[in-house]
Amino acid sequence: MSLKPPELTYLDGEMRCDYSWATGEVVGSFLTALRDQGKILAAVCEGCGVVSVPPTSYCEQCCSEFSDFKEVGPRGVVMSWARVADDFEGAPVAAPFRYVLVRLAGADTELLHVAPDDERVKIGATVSPEFKPRPEREGAITDIRWFVPEGEGGGEQ
């Protein structure tokens, strides 16, 4: 008896699940400050004093606890960037756009966010956050629409 090779070699399926993630107090406070006050808060570490943004309740550098919030920025310096060419599902803004790592004034770590696809967005450039209008903010990291370059900004490619 010969078996005819099956035409069907794939079964399509999808896994889609709804989530409601508890943020915890520190992350929750950061997101609330973005939404309600347009402020960017960093965490000061009780042990090593490192100022981390975005903040967590534990220090990723030394394991100690969060001690206090400190407002940082709003301006910062681009430490790295990457240009996204094409749109995709889940993108924060329309392509092309840039991911950036920004060292905000007063912080010891970089915030990862997005920026317009502007030639001025390069390493060393000064950028500042453009917040969405208050009614559009949800208490999410995307309440900052993106970081925009200032003036002609110096720095190397």
Partner 1 sequence: MIDVGVIGWAQTAHGTLERQTHQSLVYLVVNEALSSCRLSIHDIDVVIDAGSDFLDGRGISTCITVDSMGAHFKEESKIAGDGLLAAIYAHMRISSGLFSTALVVAYGKSSESPARSQSMSMCEPFYLRPLGLDATSAAALQARAYLHHYGVGEEAPAKVAVKNRANGARNSQAQLRAPVTIDEVLGSPQRVSPIHELEEAPVTDGACALVMAEADIARALGVRPAWISGSGHAMDPYSPGARQMHKARPAALAAGAAYQGAGISDPLSQLDLLEVTELYAHQELMLYEALGLCGEGEAAGLLDSGATGPGGAVPVNVSGGALCANPVVATGLVRLVEACSHVTGRAEGDRIDGACKALAHASGGLAMQTAACMIVER
Partner 2 sequence: MTRPVAVIGTGQTKYVSRRDDKNVPEIAREAGMRAIEDAGLDPSDIDAVVIGSAPEIFEGVNFPEDWIAPALGLCPGPVMRIHTGGTVGAATGIAGFYHVASGMFDCVLAVAYQKLSDGEAQYGLSACYDPLWDRDFACGAPALVGLQSRQYLDRHAPAVTEEHGAMVAVKNRKNALLNPYAQIRREITVADVMSSPPVAEPLKLLDCCPTSDGAAAMVIAEERKARRHCAHPAWFTGVGTCSESPYVPHVDMAYPESCVRAAQQAYQMAWIYEPAKELDVAEVYEAFSFQELIWCEALGLCGPGEGGKMVESGRTALDGAFPVNASGGVLSANPIGASAMIRQIEAAMQVMGRAGEHQVEGVHRALAHSWGGAIQFSTVTIFADEI
Name the residues that contact partner 2, by CB under 8 A: 11, 13, 15, 17-25, 27, 56-58, 60, 63
Tell me how crowded residue 140 is: count the other CB atoms within 10 A of its CB: 12
- Nearest to partner 2 of 21, 88 (CB atom): 21
- Nearest to partner 2 of 64, 128 (CB atom): 64
Question: Which residues have CB under 8 Å from 112's CB, separation 6+?
Answer: 99, 100, 101, 102
Distance between CA atoms of residues 77 and 80, nearest Å? 9
Amino acid, res. 83: R
- Nearest to partner 1 of 38, 141 (CB atom): 141
Distance between CA atoms of residues 135 and 117, nearest Å? 26
Smallest gap from residue 133 Cβ to partner 2 (A): 28
Residues that bind partner 1 (CB under 8 A): 9-10, 13, 15, 19, 21, 23, 27, 31, 52-54, 56, 60-61, 79-86, 88, 90-92, 99, 101, 109-114, 123, 140-142, 156-157
